[in-house]
A and B are shown apart, each in its own frame.
Chain A
Amino acid sequence: MTSTSPEPETLLPMTPAVFNILLALADGEKHGYAIMLEVEEITHGTVKMGPGTLYGSIKRMLSSGLIEETDERPDPDLDDERRRYYKLSGLGQRALRLEAERLEQQVSVARLKHVLEGGG
């Protein structure tokens, strides 16, 4: 059977959790806690993911092929070897780019409508 992966367009729009996790993995593989720290940083602390939210999202993202678990395990002397590391798949990279473009278009519309002007 020829392996078929879904079109990245079918995975849009993403939930904020999925988008933030993909964004956290955009610059390299990370384990769960490192992903959470990165998400907190890029959202200026507004998004705090609990373990259930993070690993529930990771499970679904692995199923849909957006991310992959890496074979690499940390040195047992430096870190807990039970940690799992994740990285973006090719599909994940394409889907992330498309979602970022989609959000950019929406922000452009918001700019055109002067939504971002003034303090409200």
Chain B
Amino acid sequence: MERIPNEPRSLTVSTRLYEVLLVVYPSEFRQAYGGPMLLFFRDCCRRALSESGAAGLLALWARTMLDTVQTAIEEHSQRGVDMSREKFIKLSGWALMLGGLALSLGWLAGTRPEYNRFNAASLPIDRYANAVEGPLSVMAMSLLAVGMIGLFLHYGRLAGSFGRVSLGLGAISGVIGAVGSAGLAILDSEPWWSIFFTGMLLEFLGLALFGLANLRRRMMPDWNGLPLLAGIWFPSYVLASLILEAGSGSWVQLPMLVDLSMFLLTTAGLVGLGYLLQSDPQLADASVPAI
């Protein structure tokens, strides 16, 4: 900053010192606001000198040092939070894609007959399929839980209260479903199955309800029907099964083609949604920082 003729030397020195002090801020912040901050500080110095002389300038420096330490820490920590948040959201997009694929693969593995080496109908593939069904299910549910948390972080503040609650329901239920699937893989018992099933049902229900909110608000750069496509099938499948059960008095196993269609459509929706989430060019802009 140039020295203005007849400017007090203490003002020039203070301004130069503050210019050096600005180095404590993150470089992006400094580039964006360093110039205006320097002008601001020079104005404050001029006023302090004219009102209270050297004592006023010293008091201003004391306040400014405190302000600089506090806000430099804030800016550095804020930058870290923003970066990790953005990174997490991008990773959660990949989690949704992989989780969707693991879900379908887990279902395919689960449809294999129980492997029995004395049974001629058992195929060698069943041996491996039976072994990976549990781990695939845990992987799918864990990845989908991460994906739902990423969706919540990215779209939660823009989704309106209904969409936000739906995403929150989906994210919390996703974690419950993941815990249930892990428990089921370790201890194959009814309580764990209920936790897993309820978590998964509410997770997809939350996603479907968010999908409805998204159709109205259109928060995504493209393909705004994807959350509904990914979320609607599993709750619909359960509802159809319950209606059939109420009619017949016993649980009705739906045809395998219906199962297959449901899982493939769900996976297609999840993969598309995950792709959109990890590649969303608006990622940094859409997340509203706390003020």
A-side residues, CB < 8 A to B, are: 1-2, 4, 6-7, 10-11, 14-15, 18, 31-33, 36, 48-61, 63-66, 80, 82-84
Contact = CB atoms under 8 A, between A and B. Distances in A.
Contacts of A2: 218
A33 B289 contact: no
Interface of B: 25, 29, 32-33, 35-37, 39-41, 43-44, 63-64, 66-68, 70-72, 74-75, 157-158, 160, 217-222, 282, 286, 288-291
Given A6-B158, A15-B291, A64-B288, A56 B36 contact: no
Contact of A83 (B39, B67, B220): B39
Contact of B291 (A36, A48, A51, A61): A61
Contacts of B72: 52
B36 A83 contact: yes
B280 to A, nearest CB: 9
Contact of B63 (A6, A50, A66, A84): A50
Contacts of A84: 36
B71 A66 contact: no
A66 B36 contact: no
Nearest to A50: B67
Contacts of B68: 50-52
Nearest to A15: B291
Contacts of A15: 291
Nearest to B222: A1
